[in-house]
């Protein structure tokens, strides 16, 4: 192979690499990759075998596109490693629930409603209230709580805390 061919081939390969890299950089904002954190977890016994947990959290949508919440799946992991999935409370019931259980404290963040939207490059603080069909001692002694929040197009974030 001639020296000129190798130089031309190397230059063409470099141009292709730069073009592909530039394409990835230009389209970065088109892909949802939400992140978040749990800021507070509160537990309230409702009955002998029913417990409510309120999880306050923040969500960051760093993409150029809007996130639309399709599914919220909360669960706790017990000390023995068992996953127990909970049922979400309706956001419209939160004011009454917090008034009936003053030990929960104030409503710090608005509830995350079904089909909630989070605009691109925005951070929101929300909460979910979850009912678990186990005694409060099981919920309070948990290893962790996880809230899985999924977009209608598939990307998701899992927020985990103690």
Indicate whether 28 pLDDT > 60: no
Taking the whole predicted model, whether its pTM rises above 0.85 is answered as: no
Give the pLDDT score at 23: 66
> With pLDDT > 70 as the criterion, what percentage of the chain qualifies?
94
Separation CA 160–CA 74 (nearest Å): 10
- Same-domain status, 47 and 120: yes
- Same-domain status, 99 and 119: yes
- Same-domain status, 8 and 41: no
Considering only CA atoms, which of 116, 145, 126 is closest in space to residue 51? 145
- Same-domain status, 100 and 142: yes
- Same-domain status, 25 and 80: no
**For residue 128, what is the domain's CATH number?**
2.60.40.10
- Same-domain status, 40 and 92: yes
CA angle, 155 as apex, 109 and 93 as ends, to 5°? 30
Q: What domain range includes position 37?
A: 33-161
- Same-domain status, 21 and 68: no
Total domains present in the chain = 2
Indicate whether 138 pLDDT > 70: yes
Listing DSSP states for the chain in one string gives: --HHHHHHHHHHHHHHHHHHHHHHHHTGGGS---EEEEEEEEEEEEETTEEEEEEEEEEEE-SSS-EEEEEEEEEEE-TTS-EEE-EEPPGGGHHHHHHH-GGG----S-B--TT-EE-TTEEEEEEEEEEESS-HHHHHT-SEEEEEEEETTS-EEEEEE-
- Same-domain status, 15 and 41: no
CB-CB contact of 27 with 107 (8 Å)? no
- Same-domain status, 119 and 91: yes
- Same-domain status, 9 and 62: no
- Same-domain status, 83 and 120: yes
Separation CA 100–CA 62 (nearest Å): 37
Question: What are 51-77's pLDDT values in tens digits?
Answer: 999 999 999 999 989 999 999 999 999
- Same-domain status, 108 and 52: yes
Give the pLDDT score at 33: 86
């Amino acid at each position: 192979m001639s020296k000129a061919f190798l130089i031309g081939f190397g230059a063409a390969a470099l141009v292709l690499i730069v073009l592909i890299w530039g394409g990835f950089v230009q389209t970065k904002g088109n892909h949802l990759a939400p992140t978040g954190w749990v800021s507070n977890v509160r537990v309230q016994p409702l009955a002998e075998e029913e417990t409510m947990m309120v999880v306050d959290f923040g969500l960051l949508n760093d993409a150029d596109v809007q996130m639309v919440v399709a599914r919220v799946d909360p669960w706790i992991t017990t000390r023995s490693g068992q996953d127990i999935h909970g049922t979400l409370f309706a956001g419209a019931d939160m004011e009454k629930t917090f008034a009936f259980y003053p030990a929960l404290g104030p409503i710090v963040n608005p509830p995350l409603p079904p089909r909630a939207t989070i605009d691109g490059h925005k951070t929101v603080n929300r909460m979910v209230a979850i009912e678990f069909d186990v005694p409060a001692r099981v919920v309070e002694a948990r290893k962790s709580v996880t809230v899985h929040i999924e977009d209608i197009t598939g990307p998701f974030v899992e927020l985990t805390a103690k």
